[in-house]
Structure 1
Amino acid sequence: MIKEVTIIRTKEKQRQTLQDVVAIEEPLEIQLETGPENQRNIQSLSVTMRTPGNDEELAVGFLFTEALITSQKNLATPPSSVPAENKIIVRLHENFDAQLDKVKRNFYTTSSCGVCGKESIEAIHQVCNIQPERKRIIIPVAVISRLPEQLYKVQKTFASTGGIHAAALFTFNGDLVSFREDVGRHNALDKVIGAAFLEQETSLFRLDQVILLLSGRASFELIQKAAMAGIKVVCAIGAPSSLAVETAASFDMTLIGFLKNTSSNIYCGEQRIKL
């Protein structure tokens, strides 16, 4: 979503009044409804700054990557939003224990917390349901190199504003499966994971048969979310952080950074890329 604004453009000591567009950023309060049918309780879980749209996907994607839900069976009904109030309610099944102590995010730390990388990675392993690869993954590097251009073609909001992130899922043949945009890179990833979560009606949700492409850099938190979803191949147009590389290697993931149509850096998991 975009908003039109009036700007003053300066160039070579000249000024000009023009109309421009910017990406919308608004808060979203995620609420949880829990408890038995006759004693339901609603509590605020989190407030995130996001680009409005796909809020249901954002909410369930956030809950899944925070290890609070594992499948659609944990939901009583589909999430419902109140756009005018920037709120969304996720109703959990009455017999499901969400273990809300995890809301404190004490099972992992972001790279800004100053905790050592080893502790952060071990914390993720405690909650991540790691499954063996269903089949050997081999992806030609030519397929990988085409992904950024395909994402650029569908990024309408980025094309008009230049100020928004995207996360996209591709098949191993390089076909676009889905993508989402948001002012927050973590929101974009939660949205694309949440969309797949709402479509996949299985007891064990996993995305190990797709490639994840990030429009910016690969931070630790994004690799953590990908690991939670079982994603084995992550590509980023920007740079990875040191903890992102360590986390990807720990989960036997393939991590590619600085992805262009002519070059890329493979940081780990090179066995899945055919040169």
Structure 2
Amino acid sequence: MRPHIQPDIQTEHSGAQQRPVVRHRGQAPAMDADRVSEEFPVALVFNGISHAVMMATPCDLEEFAIGFALTEGIVGSVHDIFDIEATMHAASAEVHLTIGQQAFLALKDKRRALAGRTGCGVCGIESLQMLDLTPAPVAQPTPPLALGAVIARAVRELPGHQTLMAATGGVHAAAWCGLDGAIVKVFEDVGRHNALDKLVGYLARQRIDMTRGFVFLSSRASYELARKAARMNIPLLATISAPTSLAIDIAQQAGMMLVSFCRQDGFVEYTGLPSPAGDSTGAATGTTP
């Protein structure tokens, strides 16, 4: 794989733009400037055929495309991606990937016309039959010891890595953490799914064993995030906000640990527990700390 960026305009994208605003504080509105997160349509093109257009922050686009291909099951391994080229335009971007013939034929068989909204999960699939709700079991190593201290460390360290969030207040973060809770790498994006795909793409390119750590997200835990993590054999998914019932079900089926409402003084565990009596959904419940 020979990754490279091919810009067609002299424009640098930091993930944030400065825009004029009027601040209303007290009795005196004042002209000012504010930094807002960038949101671009990014077309993902496989072997010359456009597969998806996602709304994303125009940074780390190669990692995003690789992670998307892996977490969506388009390719089974980073070795199935032979070449990648990202092209920036004035208000959009394209990432062209060359993938193996077997993967491309499978993609054409299940191709979906996906025009992604910000942070979109399953919008654009053509039928309910295409919705993949049956994850394979995660090959789970020994979970971290003293999980409370591990989660507390990740929570404590994350703000120091959220540079775009500090600048704009409007992006999500996906962090890769070691088994001790130390944050190794963070990617940010206007979409939480995009941030996770960028992180997975980075881990795959760096040949990092995704069973030897966990993902910490500055968002809620949705179905799609749990499904992507399970597909990559990630044993633990931790989030700042609440999970959905389907995210819990997916994690339970995969044998993946799901913890949410992560704070320095605690968290809520949602998996490995019996379903509440009379709950037809099979979802576990938790209490916000």
* Corresponding position of 1:9: 23
Match of 2:152, SS state, is helix
Match of 1:13, SS state, is coil
C-alpha displacement at 1:105, in angstroms? Answer: 8.5
Residue 230, structure 1, aligned to residue 233, structure 2: yes
Summarize the Cα distance change of 1:96–1:217 in structure 2 as closer, same or farther, 3 Å threshold: closer
Q: Measure, in 1, the Cα distance between the counterparts of 2:257 and 2:124.
A: 24
* Corresponding position of 1:170: 177
With 226-235 and 68-77 compared, the bigger mean Cα shift is at 68-77
Equivalent AA in structure 1 for residue 46 of structure 2: L
1:198-231 deviation per Cα after TM superposition (whole angstroms, max 9, x unaligned): 2229xxxx61111110101111110011011111
Residue 104, structure 1, aligned to residue 109, structure 2: no
* Corresponding position of 1:193: 200
After superposition, where does 1:146-225 map in structure 2 within 5 Å? 146-200=153-207, 207-225=210-228
Summarize the Cα distance change of 1:15–1:243 in structure 2 as closer, same or farther, 3 Å threshold: same
C-alpha displacement at 1:124, in angstroms? Answer: 3.9
Whose helix proportion is higher, 1 or 2?
Answer: 1
Residue 139, structure 1, aligned to residue 145, structure 2: yes
Q: Measure, in 2, the Cα distance between the counterparts of 1:111 and 1:95.
A: 25
Structure 1 alignment gaps of length 5 or more: 34-41, 271-275
Contact 2:139/2:211, CA 8 A, preserved across alignment: no
TM-score, normalised by the number of residues in structure 2: 0.79
Identity %: 29
1:39-63 deviation per Cα after TM superposition (whole angstroms, max 9, x unaligned): xxx1111100110111011111111
Residue 52, structure 1, aligned to residue 58, structure 2: yes
Summarize the Cα distance change of 1:96–1:120 in structure 2 as closer, same or farther, 3 Å threshold: closer
1:184-207 deviation per Cα after TM superposition (whole angstroms, max 9, x unaligned): 000000000011112229xxxx61
Aligned residues: 248
Summarize the Cα distance change of 1:219–1:10 in structure 2 as closer, same or farther, 3 Å threshold: same
Q: Measure, in 2, the Cα distance between the counterparts of 1:241 and 1:258.
A: 12
Structure 2 alignment gaps of length 5 or more: 1-14, 115-120, 274-289
After superposition, where does 1:27-42 map in structure 2 within 5 Å? 27-33=41-47, 42=48
